[in-house]
Amino acid sequence: MSHLLKPKPNLLLIDDDEDVLDACRQLFNLSGYQVRATNSPQKALEALSRDWDGVVISDIYMPAMHGLDLLAAVHHIDPQIPVIMITGHADIPLAVKAVKQGAADFIEKPLDPPTFLALVKKAATQRHQLIGQRQNIQDSLAGQLLGSSAQINDLREQLGQLALTDRDVMLEGPRGVGRNTLAALLHKLGPRAEGPLQQLECALVESPEKLQQAVDASRGGTLILRELEHLPTDSQRWLASFLLDQERRGNKEVRTIAILESQPETLVQEQTLTPECFYYFSQVRLRLPALCERPSDIVPLFMAFLKESCRRLSRKMPTVENRYLDNLKQHSWPGNVRELRNVAELYAVGIVKLANVQRIAAAPSVKGPLDELVDDYEKRLIEDALFLFSGRVSEAADYLNVPRKKLYLRMKKYGLDKECFKPVKPGRG
């Protein structure tokens, strides 16, 4: 039954010779293809798109457009659309050139139907698989990298292309913005998904030997280098030379994704990132913008996290007033998406953060002496900050704009232990 529903593979035939077009049209129609034949390369190009699931077959010599130019134009739309060139015997060197420039194959006139059919079938199958893979990747990205801002849409597009490759990537963005999430997605959706995924906290690496151990443990998979700028200089040099060597040998054992907190150019100027690592990783760069740079993501992300928390905690989805959503949009989100996720999680259990005006207004009456109320309020603010930054005292101190030492003293006063705020993260190495 299912074969009846299967769409016919598409073929786009381009030739200025009507007899060749007719013969090919007949051959492929009979073999179950959906054929579109034209003598106009321009019209043919208009029919193509990145999602087009089919094979282009083109004459190499046409008065309206040279076959090599057509090939370049098709690959401008999508470098992975298969193009098969039809060529005369005298044009073989040209056809070989076309293959070097990315044509899927070529076939010589007079056309031998079985050979021709086999060539086209192979290219059509590969294209169909690729389109399916791309669709799966886009579906996974849409479900796991949430957000509908132009920046996140662009990022999903770039990730969709990168996930199919094995390229090393430099990922830049502030903490809590989703850098690890994105790096892990690149691994999970890519060709190394079956291999190991290792994360290395670069600040904890004291020697190249320790780095080497992490590289060894990642062979066949991916190594995420968290905050590469904290890797000591000798280890950065070792890394750059290992990666270059791997590239030269053309035998990639480890894919690396380097995460940086600030702009790489600035880090080079500050001499925390070596030029060797900078140039190597500059080949593929991605930037995850801070949440405040993409305010249109705040509400959809909050609602998605709230829904997820309610489902996980088996709670009824609470109503959220527009006034509260406006508050969220006005907040600067120094802890980025992690902070937003924590706020949504608290909301799911009835604790409403970032609504101070309403919270004070809703307080029934002032109960204790002022000092106790102030202490109580201070304790709550410190708890919030520790919660937002998952128990990281230095970041909580920055957020509250107090010296770290002062925060420690206050935590002691209120009996707060940073360990209680650290989430259990599965899979972190």
Ligand X SMILES: Nc1ncnc2c1ncn2[C@@H]1O[C@H](COP(=O)(O)OP(=O)(O)OP(=O)(O)O)[C@@H](O)[C@H]1O
147 sits near ligand X (criterion: CB under 6 A): yes
Dihedral sign from CA coordinates of 128, 134, 139, 140: positive
Figure out which of the listed residues 127, 134, 156, 179 binds ligand X, where binding follows CB under 6 A: 179
Burial 313-336 (b: 16+ CB within 10 A, else e): eeeeeeebeeeeeebbeebebbbb
The β-bridge partners of 58 are 14, 85
290 sits near ligand X (criterion: CB under 6 A): no
Question: Please, which residue, 22 or 139, has the CB nearer to ligand X?
Answer: 139
Q: How far is the CB of 175 from ligand X (least distance, A)?
A: 4
341 sits near ligand X (criterion: CB under 6 A): yes
Task: Please report which helix (H) or strand (E) contains residue 137, including its range.
Answer: helix 113-144
176 sits near ligand X (criterion: CB under 6 A): yes
Choices 67-75, 114-122, 156-164, 333-341; region in contact with ligand X by CB under 6 A: 333-341
Q: Which residues contact 183 (CB under 8 A, 6 or more apart)?
A: 169, 171, 222, 224, 257, 259
Cα separation, 44 vs 12, whole angstroms: 7
Figure out which of the listed residues 99, 145, 217, 303 binds ligand X, where binding follows CB under 6 A: 145
397 sits near ligand X (criterion: CB under 6 A): no
178 sits near ligand X (criterion: CB under 6 A): yes
Spell out, one character per residue from 93 to 132, where the chain touches ligand X: x when CB under 6 A holds, - when not.
----------------------------------------
Choices 77-85, 133-141, 336-344, 400-408; region in contact with ligand X by CB under 6 A: 336-344
CB 199 within 8 A of CB 187: no
In this structure, the strands spanning 222-226 and 197-201 are parallel
Figure out which of the listed residues 175, 230, 255, 353 binds ligand X, where binding follows CB under 6 A: 175
- Residue ranges of the alpha helices (H) in 332-402? 336-348, 356-362, 370-388, 393-400
Q: How far is the CB of 183 from ligand X (least distance, A)?
A: 8
Figure out which of the listed residues 337, 388, 400, 416 binds ligand X, where binding follows CB under 6 A: 337
Choices 145-153, 159-167, 197-205, 229-237; region in contact with ligand X by CB under 6 A: 145-153
Question: Please, which residue, 340 or 416, has the CB nearer to ligand X?
Answer: 340
Dihedral-angle region of residue 6 (phi above 0 means left; psi in -120 to 50 means alpha; beta otherwise): beta
Q: Which residues contact 390 (CB under 8 A, 6 or more apart)?
A: 338, 421, 422, 423
Question: Please, which residue, 34 or 158, has the CB nearer to ligand X?
Answer: 158
Q: How far is the CB of 207 from ligand X (least distance, A)?
A: 23
Figure out which of the listed residues 134, 187, 230, 338 binds ligand X, where binding follows CB under 6 A: 338
Figure out which of the listed residues 29, 133, 181, 272 binds ligand X, where binding follows CB under 6 A: 181
Dihedrals phi, psi of 112, to nearest 5 degrees: -95, 110
The DSSP output letter for 304 is H
Q: How far is CA 410 from CA 388, 396, 405, in A?
A: 17, 12, 9
Figure out which of the listed residues 55, 71, 146, 170 binds ligand X, where binding follows CB under 6 A: 146
Cα separation, 132 vs 189, whole angstroms: 13
187 sits near ligand X (criterion: CB under 6 A): no
Question: Please, which residue, 146 or 258, has the CB nearer to ligand X?
Answer: 146
334 sits near ligand X (criterion: CB under 6 A): no
Q: Which residues contact 166 (CB under 8 A, 6 or more apart)?
A: 190, 191, 192, 252, 255
Choices 174-182, 203-211, 239-247, 273-281; region in contact with ligand X by CB under 6 A: 174-182
Choices 60-68, 173-181, 211-219, 240-248; region in contact with ligand X by CB under 6 A: 173-181
CB 390 within 8 A of CB 161: no
CB 73 within 8 A of CB 56: no
Dihedral sign from CA coordinates of 400, 405, 406, 410: positive
264 sits near ligand X (criterion: CB under 6 A): no
Number of residue whose CB is nearest ligand X: 178
Residue 172: strand, helix, or coil: strand
How many amino acids of this chain bind ligand X (CB under 6 A)? 13
For ligand X, the binding residues (CB under 6 A) are: 145-147, 175-181, 337-338, 341
